Structure 1
Amino acid sequence: MPSITLNDGTKIPAIGFGVFMVPGDGTAYEMVKEALRAGYRHIDTAAAYFNEEDVGKAIRDSGIDRKDIFVTSKLWLQDHGYENAKKGIDRSLRKLGLDYIDLYLIHQPYGDVIETWHAMEEAKKEGKLRSIGVSNMTPKIWNQFVPQFEIKPAVNQVEFNPFFQQRELRALMEKDNVRLEAWYPLGHGNKDLLTHPVFENLAQKYHKNPGQIILRFELQEGAIVLPKSTNISRIQSNLNLFDFELTAEEMQSIRALDTKKGSHDPDAPGVAQALLNAFKIED
């Protein structure tokens, strides 16, 4: 599995297995075990996914050395602020059953982001978190908060796929060598994306499926991709991306598909309150 070196020197596998909307009723446990069996070594969860316990148990039961598995989790909005964030970090560690988390993100960038980040910087210095980052930061939100951070984020996990290529944001992040992590890298099953003639034609040429072409494009653009699936054959095929390379002309043909619009607008009025009301994380 190829890895990418983050701006703090940590190496992160270029492909991660995402467990968003995978129930923590044993389903996430089985899917993470399948992903690890298939060769994934990067698992992406969050407090608000309500499956950290499943993820941690699958890692422990996998028989794979902990140091060989990269684990990401995220702090939910209710835990923003210095003291709350410290409790949220410790809760994630406890639920995962881990001594440290490889990458920890501010899941939604609203409220007391500055003091939340201070708590995460402190936890990084204590060794509880190896790398720290943010999620869902637009250029507007980035410019509001990141210049005030002592430690720059290692990643910004945002919506990213060929229809929404985040060029303005990527240019801003590049100044601090911050990596983009892609959620919805396949457009959350967007049929218009997956059946687009550009991808169908390239899939035929390379003997791949359109999803593999899309993921390969994103990797060549420098993104860390987090495809999610509960289909075992798809879990395996989403890893099979390293025996071909798109040409410069093919990359340009895909770049031309950018609509500059995603499914979620973090800058929209009322988003923060709606998200805060959506979930309540219990100890």
Structure 2
Amino acid sequence: MSILTETYQLNNGNEIPKVGFGTWQIPDGKPTYDAVTAALKAGYRHIDTAKAYRNEESVGQAIFDSDVDRENVFVTSKLPAETKTYDGVIKDFKSTMKALDFSYLDLYLVHAPWPWGQRGSTEYDEANREVWQAMQDIYNSGEAKAIGVSNFNVHDLKNILDMADVKPAVNQIRYFAGYTEPQITKFTKDNGILVEAYSPLATGALFENQDIQQMANKYGVSIAQLAIKFVLQNDVLPLPKAVNEEHIKNNTQLDFEISPDDMELLDDLSGSDFG
């Protein structure tokens, strides 16, 4: 059985494919359309996009034009990090749905707890509670089958959980070998929230690490395959991105197991090596 057909169960009972295809930094138009088309052809059934990526329309068109029925593709999009009002959430969600041309979204995430220019700020605690109220209303409408967050640390999660009627289903964070955010990951999992890993290849930086290359050689796999499998064996959902059709296919070949000792070695890598 392909890993692409395996799923995690979200805390609302919905199933989410264990490996997603990321579209961050893929330009709108033909690049995104072709990449998503190739991903679906390779067997991916989980596509991740965001309003901030400016490629939602191409993602939606590629899914519509594919041989795969819409209901068989799990699609995630995200609320812009700068949107911090109830009305703004509703407006941006409607804009996302129009761009994708969907009647529902499988997962809708708050892209960050702060506007990008104010990374780490806690000044938005009250605003994030207002945002989450709007997210809950979208969820209760049925237009989003699940809701969650991205880039939320322990403080930001507690701020939401303290008032939430609907618990976030997902926290999507930067996560890769040598950079696993142990405190955030543990708190997220302890609260029944799935951790998703964006940049599981450290935005390409893992390819420069000789230790990882040697380990990949040992298993007869690519660095990308090793990095993705590392994430999966930590019960985290990876979102690898690729634009080359061969790389897209190769990233799905994950039928091997990393030993406990090698998992520990990968865990102990210094994230500072990768930027």
TM-score (norm 1): 0.87
Structure 1, unaligned runs of 5 or more: 264-283
User: What is the CA deviation profile of residues 192-223 of structure 1, one whole-angstrom value per residue up to 9, with x for unaligned ones?
Assistant: x3243442233222211112111101100011
Query: How big is each residue's C-alpha offset from its partner over 1:27-61, in whole Å with a ceiling of 9 and x where there is no partner?
Result: 21111111111111111000011111000000000
Query: Whole-Å Cα distance in 2 between the matches of residues 101 and 175 of structure 1?
Result: 26
1:207 corresponds to which of 220, 227, 231: 220
In structure 1, distance between residues paired with 2:80 and 2:103? 20
- Counterpart position of 1:182: 197
What amino acid is the match of 2:148? Answer: G
- Say whether the 8 Å CA contact 2:189–2:195 is kept in structure 1: no
Of 95, 99, 112, which residue of structure 2 is paired with 1:95?
99
Distance in 1 (alpha carbons) for counterparts of 2:272 and 2:177: 9
Do the aligned partners of residues 238 and 12 (structure 1) sit closer, same or farther apart at CA in structure 2, a change above 3 Å counting?
Answer: same
Q: Supply the AA of the counterpart residue of 2:42.
A: A
Determine the structure 2 residue equivalent to 1:4.
8
Q: Which residue of 1 aligns with 2:261?
A: 249
For residues 50-73 of structure 1, give each alpha carbon's deviation from its aligned partner in whole angstroms, at most 9, with x where no partner exists. Answer: 111000000000021111100000
Say if 1:250 and 1:57 are closer, same or farther in 2 by CA, change over 3 A. Answer: same
Task: Give 1:14 deviation, angstroms.
Answer: 1.1
Task: Describe the SS at the equivalent of 2:145.
Answer: strand
Matching residue within 54, 63, 80 for 2:84: 80
**Residue segments in structure 2 that go unaligned for 5+ positions in a row:** 115-123
SS in 2 for 1:148: coil
Aligned residues: 260
Query: In structure 1, what is the Cα distance between the partners aligned to 2:50 and 2:247?
Result: 22
Check whether the contact 2:132–2:160 (CA below 8 A) recurs between aligned residues. no
Percent identical among aligned pairs is 35
1:40 aligns with 2:44: yes
Task: Quote the Cα distance in structure 2 between the aligned partners of 1:88 and 1:58.
Answer: 21
Mapped partners of 1:134, 1:258: distance in 2: 26
Q: Which amino acid aligns with 1:22?
A: I
Q: 2:241 aligns to what?
A: 228
Pick from 117, 125, 147 the counterpart of residue 162 of structure 2.
147
Contact 1:195 1:210 in 2 (8 A): no
Matched, 1:65 2:65: no
* Residue in structure 2 matched with residue 269 of structure 1 by the alignment: none
- Which residues of 2 match residues 14-25 of structure 1 at below 5 A? 14-25=18-29
> Residues 261 and 122 (structure 1 numbering): CA distance in 2 closer, same or farther, change over 3 Å?
farther
SS of equivalent to 2:269: coil
Q: CA RMSD in A?
A: 1.7
The CA distance in 2 between the partners of 1:104 and 1:221, in whole Å, is: 23
Instruction: Quote how far apart the aligned CAs of 1:232 are.
Output: 1.3
Superposed displacement of residue 171, structure 1 = 1.3
Q: State the alpha-carbon separation in 2 of the partners of residues 261 and 108 from structure 1.
A: 25
- The structural deviation recorded for 1:10 is 1.1
Structure 2 Cα separation of the partners of residues 142 and 261 of structure 1: 28
Q: Which residue of 2 is the match for residue 49 of structure 1?
A: 53
1:262 to 1:6, Cα distance in 2 relative to 1, 3 A:
farther
The one-letter code sitting in structure 2 at the alignment partner of 1:256 is D
State the partner residue of 1:272.
Answer: none
The letter of the residue matching 1:224 is: L
Distance 2:195 2:74 in 1: 16
- TM norm structure 2: 0.90
Residues in 2 aligned to 1:147 and 1:14: alpha-carbon distance in whole angstroms:
28
Deviation larger for 149-158 or 72-81? 72-81
- Comparing 194-203 and 167-176, the one that deviates more: 194-203
Change in CA separation of 1:136 and 1:218 when aligned onto 2, cut-off 3 Å: same
Distance in 2 between the 1:69 and 1:134 partners? 20
Q: How far apart are the structure 2 equivalents of 1:175 and 1:194? A: 32
1:80 to 1:40, Cα distance in 2 relative to 1, 3 A:
same
In structure 2, how many angstroms separate the alpha carbons of the residues matched to 1:140 and 1:121? Answer: 20
In structure 1, give the amino acid aligned to 2:64. R
